[in-house]
Amino acid sequence: MTERISNRRPETGAFFRRDLNSHPPAYAPIYKTSVLRSPRRALLSLDGTLSEITGPVFGHNILGELDNDLIHNFAKPGESAIGPRIIVYGKVLDERGKGVPGALLEFWQANAGGRYRHKKEGYIAPLDPNFGGCGRTITDEDGAYSLRTIQPGPYPWPNGPNDWRPAHIHFSIFGHGFAQRLITQMYFEGDPMIWQCPIVRTIPDRAAIERLVAALDMEATIPMDARAYKFDIVLRGRRSSLFENRLEGN
């Protein structure tokens, strides 16, 4: 788990301040569950200490061959998940525009009918026996990644009397420091359901929402097989440690 993936000098600066205006507020009554689960007091601002600017590293040795292929990683031999076949690819970058190598991406999603494989899921759409719904990968030296899956369906959820989630894929991202930890969701270009979703609308800024909408990229499709969507993810940047004050005795 701790092997280094390159010999580049690790960065040790603190992370850029998080711009909370482009994130959803903790308390967003349009998304009812947030009401009782939102801290109400001001966060304590802290320039990163070693406890937050460090983070675990995951080696490629944890990955199985089908980990980033949701079409096949739960399917019986010779079978595959049902639904529109897609590739999702992109880069994990930081706010300085640098690719983030060695980032662990974990993703999960509903099946093509909008049904999750989960004990607490009650939607009437059927399970697909060949679809589990989870996958993971690690970015390469440039921060690039790709995965193969089926396009998930929209699904209804108990919030307002008739709220539906747009088609989406959940992404969890591990960069280079614990303070960079991020979970977000990817949406699909052209989906009219995006703009009526209360969870999407917890994000206060339309331009910020658009940064979560993956673009259809016909040039990256595999003809007669799968269409492609490009989804870049940006993690917090960090200050270089180059010119920082040296601690006495360090």
Partner 1 sequence: MVQSLDRLKESPSQTAGPYAHIGLTPNFSGISGVYDGDLGAAMVNEKTRGERIAVKIRVIDGSGTPLKDAVVEIWQADADGLHNSPSEMRGTADPNFTGWGRQATDMTTGECLFETVKPGRVPFPDGRLMAPHITIWIVARGINIGLHTRMYFGDEEAANAEDPVLARIEHRVRVPTLIAPRDGDTYTFDIHLQGEREAVFFDI
DSSP state of 32: G
- Asked if 33 is part of the footprint of partner 1 (rule: CB under 8 A), the reply reads yes
List the interface residues with partner 1, window 155-174 (CB under 8 A): 170, 172
Nearer of residues 30 and 220 to partner 1, judged by Cβ: 30
**Options 18, 23, 117, 170, the catalytic residue:** 170
Q: 163 φ, ψ to 5°?
A: -95, 140
Within 10 Å of residue 221's Cβ, how many Cβ atoms? 16
Task: Give exposure, 4-43, as e/b (b: 16+ Cβ within 10 Å).
Answer: eeeeeeebbbbbeeeeeeeebeeebebbeebeeeeeeeee
User: Do 235 and 105 contact (CB within 8 A), yes or no?
Assistant: no
Please confirm, yes or no, whether 165 is among the known catalytic residues: yes
List the interface residues with partner 1, window 47-66 (CB under 8 A): 47-58, 62, 64, 66
**Options 116, 145, 187, 229, the catalytic residue:** 116
Please confirm, yes or no, whether 170 is among the known catalytic residues: yes
**Options 72, 165, 236, 238, the catalytic residue:** 165
Using the rule CB under 8 A, which residue among 22, 29, 126, 160 binds partner 1? Answer: 22
Nearer of residues 25 and 84 to partner 1, judged by Cβ: 25
List the interface residues with partner 1, window 67-96 (CB under 8 A): 67, 73-74, 93-96
**Pairwise CA distance, residues 165 & 199, whole Å:** 8
List the interface residues with partner 1, window 182-221 (CB under 8 A): 182-185, 199-200, 202-203, 205, 208-209, 211-212
Candidates 77-85, 126-134, 143-151, 220-228: pick the segment binding partner 1 (CB under 8 A): 126-134
User: Do 169 and 149 contact (CB within 8 A), yes or no?
Assistant: yes
Within 10 Å of residue 236's Cβ, how many Cβ atoms? 21
How many residues touch partner 1 (CB under 8 A)? 98
Using the rule CB under 8 A, which residue among 65, 77, 119, 206 binds partner 1? Answer: 119
**Pairwise CA distance, residues 139 & 92, whole Å:** 7
Please confirm, yes or no, whether 116 is among the known catalytic residues: yes
Please confirm, yes or no, whether 168 is among the known catalytic residues: yes
- Asked if 121 is part of the footprint of partner 1 (rule: CB under 8 A), the reply reads yes
**Options 31, 89, 145, 155, the catalytic residue:** 155
Using the rule CB under 8 A, which residue among 134, 215, 216, 220 binds partner 1? Answer: 134
Burial of residue 234 (CB within 10 Å: 0-12, 13-18, 19+) is middle
Please confirm, yes or no, whether 23 is among the known catalytic residues: no
**Pairwise CA distance, residues 215 & 204, whole Å:** 21
Candidates 80-88, 133-141, 142-150, 215-223: pick the segment binding partner 1 (CB under 8 A): 133-141
**Pairwise CA distance, residues 230 & 189, whole Å:** 10
Catalytic (active-site) positions = 116, 155, 165, 168, 170
